[in-house]
Each structure stands twice: as C-alpha cells, then as structure tokens.
Amino acid sequence: MNRILLRLKQTPRISFCGRISKLSNSYYVKSDERAFMETFPEVIQVLMNSPWCLQVPSFADHYKELIKYTVLKERRFRPSIVMEAYRAMESPENFSKEKLHLVTIFAWSIELMQSALITLDDIWDQSPMRGNDIPWYKKPNIGLTGINDGVILYESAFSLIKTYFSSQNVYTALMETLHQLSVGTAIGQYLDWKCKRDSKPTFENFNMQTYRGIARFKTASALVETPFKGIRILTNNLPIPNSSEDVFMELGVACQIDNDILDTYNEKGEVRHQVGSDIREGACTWPAIQVLESGNKEMIRKFKQNYGRPQLECENEIIKIFEEFRIFGKYRTYCQTTRGRLEKRAREMEPSLQRAILAATENVLPISAYI
C-alpha cells in the first residue's frame, strides 16, 4: 500500500491540489483559512473535555500532543473546498456566521478522520517520513501503539460531530457521511494492496481501471464527495445527483495524478534532488501506468526490470525513462484537457452545485498547472 489520500512524501512540497489558486476569491480564501485555524483551540478544548480525558487525566497530555502533531501537519485543502462549497450552496437568507462556524467544525471532523487514516497508513507502510518530519509512530515510545492512537483520532472525528450536532436533525446524516468516508478509504486500501504481491509490484494490475478505483475511494471520497455531501446536508439541499459522481471521480483522479507527479518532479517539471518513495516502493502511479500502457517494448522491459527496487541505480533508470517519455509534458496536457472537460460538465448542473464544482476545479486544477 502506498498512501492514503495525497499524503506528503519524503520531501516537503506543495501540491497543486494542496494550494488555493491565486485566481480564487482571495478575500474569502484568506478569511476562511483564518476562521478555520482560529477554531482549532476550540476543537482542542472540546476534545480535551471528553470523558476519556476527564476520567484518565494522564491521557490528556498524550492526546493533545497526538492531535497537534498529526492533524496540524497536514496540507489543508479539504477545508477550503468545504467552506467554498458552503458559500456557493447556501441560500443568502440562511447564511450566517454561526452556520459558517458549524461548517468549520465539520471540516475539522474530516481532518481528524483523515489524520487517523494517515496515521495508520504510515504504520502499515512503515513510512520513514511524513513531509519533512518523522511520522507519529516513529516518535520515541510510540511505535505500534500508534495503531491505538489512530483509533483515538478516528473516534475523535465522531466525538466532534456528536458535540456540535447531536441536537440537530442533521446529526445522523453527518455521522453516516463520515462512516462512508472510512469505509470507502478501506476499499481503496484493498485495491492499493492488490497492486503488490510479496512486496513486489504486480504489473498486470497496473492499469487505469485499477488506478481510477484507488483514486475514487482514497482520494475523491475525502477530497470532494465527503465535503459536498456534508454541505448538502448542512444547507438542507437535495441529495447530490448521481450525475455528479463522474465529476467527483475526475477531481479525485486529478488530485491523485498531481500527487504522483510531485513525487518525482517539482512544479517547474524539474526532477527533485530527493524524489519520493513511489519508485522504490513500486507504487501503482499514473506515470508508471503511462509507461506500461504507451511505452515501446524496450522501455517497458527496462521499466519492469527496475521499478519497485530499492537500489539508487534502479531509481535513476526509472527517472531516465520518465524523462525520455516526457511524462511531465503529458501531465500538463492532461491538466488542460481535464479542466476543460470538468468545466463543461459543471455548467450542465444546477447553479449552486455548478458554482461549487467550478470552485473545486480551480482549486484542484489551477490554470498555473499547465501554463
């Protein structure tokens, strides 16, 4: 298994999906980011007042450190999508600071859930790094007890929803939305695992059908579906039509592809001084699939011979193949065509959903990605 949704690799970087486009409404973006982060102390206080902290005071310090270390280290692009979706989908007469605050709390519940899943994923993968720091399980005296901490973070997401929404008619629906996120991620993990056998890549499973399935459950679910379903619930809108699922899928695939590309290249298309772990781990990635599906026989032979091996010379050979195949140029072409296709589909939707989808598209596929 290579990663949970858009996880940061061994070198610090900013994903195109992980940043807010300069073309977005800068006032609202900065305002929402500020409101989101200003709510964190409140989230901490609420969780620290939970029964397990009050009944076991010695646990409180560990719990607080766990939340700060795991949740605050993540690139927060999901909350921006949550809050932009709320602004786009809420009726003007129902918009209020109080409602926006509840939307912010819902965004934090998603972050807690994702942090839980990523904490567990790091242990399963034995990941050496999380961004430019060690993952939680590698901290002194943590190790496999990080599995228990992952469960605690998981339950914290539901605890937050219960504290703020249990008296409202949206409570059950929001809880179910988080459950769907965790189940979907587990299915994505299963598909991810199928791409390896005895720690070696199973190239027969390296195809876009498998890849889209992984992206659908591990990326699109948390990036788009869960935020949009939650906002539909909080704004009392109708259920999201099934016709929107292909748009969510494309956004998730786009973000996963972006993550795969940035494992090897920087935003200028230059090979990183220290690439991520996908090549050595033999991960099922978009660049790998492009070579296997469209490369010539000799290129494919060399690729299979070197991919998924820990030796530096093997890694360099794969990078050489990527360069020869002009993978970054193909990525930029993909971004341009996919953005156009998503914008066209969004304009076929009802106005509120259209505005929200267009904002998400700009977030995931800013024009700067292919200029």
Alpha helices in the chain (DSSP H): 26-38, 40-48, 51-55, 57-71, 78-89, 97-125, 146-165, 171-193, 208-215, 226-234, 245-261, 278-281, 286-294, 297-306, 312-325, 327-346, 351-364
Q: Specify the pLDDT at position 16.
A: 36
Q: Considering only the top CATH level, what class is 198-370?
A: mainly alpha
Return the biggest CA–CA distance within the chain: 64
Residue 349 falls in which region: left (phi positive, over 0), alpha (psi -120 to 50) or beta = beta
**Tokens encoding 364:** 């995931």
Q: Cβ contacts of residue 203 below 8 Å, gap of 6+?
A: 292, 304
In contact, 203 and 211? CB cutoff 8 Å: no
Q: Specify the pLDDT at position 123.
A: 92
Instruction: List the chain domain ranges.
Output: 32-168, 198-370
32-168 with 198-370: one CATH topology? yes
- Return the DSSP state at 201: E
pTM to 2 decimals?
0.83
Find tokens 């929404």 and name the residue.
165
HEC string of 63-82?
HHHHHHHHHCCCCCCHHHHH
Q: Specify the pLDDT at position 359.
A: 83
Q: Specify the pLDDT at position 2.
A: 42
DSSP string, 114-153: HHHHHHHHHHHHT-S-BTTB--GGGSTTTGGGHHHHHHHH
Q: Specify the pLDDT at position 352.
A: 79
From 262, 222, 195, 144, select the one nearest 1 (Cα to Cα): 195
Collapsing DSSP to helix, strand or coil, 56 comes out as coil
Q: Specify the pLDDT at position 54.
A: 86
In contact, 80 and 29? CB cutoff 8 Å: yes
Q: Was domain 32-168 assigned CATH 3.40.50.1950?
A: no
Q: Specify the pLDDT at position 19.
A: 38
Q: Specify the pLDDT at position 46.
A: 96
In contact, 282 and 200? CB cutoff 8 Å: yes
Q: Specify the pLDDT at position 72.
A: 81
From the number of C-beta atoms within 10 Å of its C-beta (0-12, 13-18, 19+), residue 197 rates as: exposed
Walk along the chain (371 residues) and give the pLDDT tens digit of each residue: 444 333 333 333 334 344 334 334 444 556 777 888 899 999 999 999 988 888 898 899 999 999 999 998 655 556 778 888 898 888 889 899 899 999 999 999 999 999 999 999 889 877 777 766 889 999 999 999 999 999 999 999 999 999 999 999 999 999 999 999 999 999 988 998 899 988 899 999 999 999 999 999 988 888 888 998 999 999 987 667 666 788 888 998 998 999 899 889 988 999 988 888 899 989 999 999 999 999 999 999 999 999 999 999 999 999 999 999 999 999 999 999 999 999 999 988 888 788 888 888 887 887 665 56
Distance CA 74, CA 86 (A): 22
